[in-house]
Amino acid sequence: MPGKIAITPRSLSGQGHPALSSLIGSGYELVFPSPGEMPTEEQLRATIPECVGWLAGVEPIGGALLEQADSLKVISRNGVGVSNIEMPVADRLGITVARAEGANARGVAELAFALMLSGFRHIPWSDAGIRSGQWQRRKGFEAQGRTLGLIGCGAIGRLVATMATQFGMKVIGFDPFPDDSFVLEGFRYGEIGEVLEHSHAISLHCPPSDKPLLDKVALAEVREGVVIINTARAELVDETALLGALNRNQIGCYATDVYACEPPAPGPLITHDRVILMPHAGGFTEESVDRATQGAVSNLLSVLERR
């Protein structure tokens, strides 16, 4: 029997999307806990327990909330990451967690590559300087002939590798489960130590673990002046160690689209003139939103109608 479905991604709750009409046409009532904004825990607790389905974004979904959601059958992400969901609790309660596989890959990959080029050419710094009345330059460098290191070679990483080789770059990719069917001229798999030591830019495309991947030890191994791009998860980088590496010029630039807390609080890393910031917009393109929404809606109906 149809019931309520919560819609919480900011890209959908504020402006809607044509794909949501499929849910209404199937008899479901759509509820929006916080239109156009990331919902608070209080807003979710007031809404989710009444819902049978949840089209979810990147907001934290804790175990206590899931315990209260007696009617909830499925959480459908409009993306691929589920690190914001307390999965052991969802599994124990029999709540299906579905993902829109690959929907955001192109958008995130293009942003990662754009951030790399911005770091190479100091674009945000130059723009800010001219706007403030200064006329200063920092010498950049060209992509051709440089080495890009990838940590994580899934759908996003492989797209970034393809873009880089088209610019004449060499690419070293580390992945604990390498896909040997991915063959690309200019690309090879390597160990993580090779990525750290030889790369002029390092782009992160992997899930977090119980400790930062780029900690003080790892950051001491990177090539001086490296550009680090993070469109994956904030937890992959030790921010204290990162700030130290920036200040001693071990890292030339850090470009990120992800934060431990969103929006991030002001601090020395956020205000650093060699840090490039994006507001978690990797998958926020017209095409990615369309693919992700259609996939998430399809997954919701598949689970709910099956039940």
pLDDT at 22 over 70: yes
Catalytic residue among 10, 274, 280, 291: 280
Tokens of 263: 């929006």
pLDDT-derived band at 1 (thresholds 50, 70, 90) equals: low
Catalytic residue among 29, 224, 262, 287: 262
Catalytic residue among 205, 233, 274, 291: 233
Tokens of 115: 């951030």
pLDDT at 231 over 90: yes
Name the average pLDDT for the chain. Answer: 95
Task: Give the integer Cα–Cα distance in Å for 175 and 91.
Answer: 27
287 is a catalytic site residue: no
pLDDT in tens, 42-60: 999 999 999 999 999 989 9
Helix axis angle for 123-131 and 105-121, nearest 10°, is 60
Instruction: Give the distance between the most distant pair of CA atoms in the chain.
Output: 65
Sign of CA dihedral 102, 106, 112, 116: positive
End-to-end CA distance of the chain: 9
233 is a catalytic site residue: yes
Task: Give the integer Cα–Cα distance in Å for 239 and 192.
Answer: 20
pLDDT in tens, 196-211: 999 999 999 998 889 9
Residue 6, classed as helix, strand or coil, is: strand
280 is a catalytic site residue: yes
Residue 3, classed as helix, strand or coil, is: coil
Q: What is the pLDDT of residue 240?
A: 97
| Cβ atoms of 20 and 7 closer than 8 Å | yes
Tell me the whole-structure pTM to 2 decimals. 0.89
pLDDT at 188 over 90: yes
pLDDT in tens, 148-181: 999 999 999 999 999 999 999 999 999 999 999 9
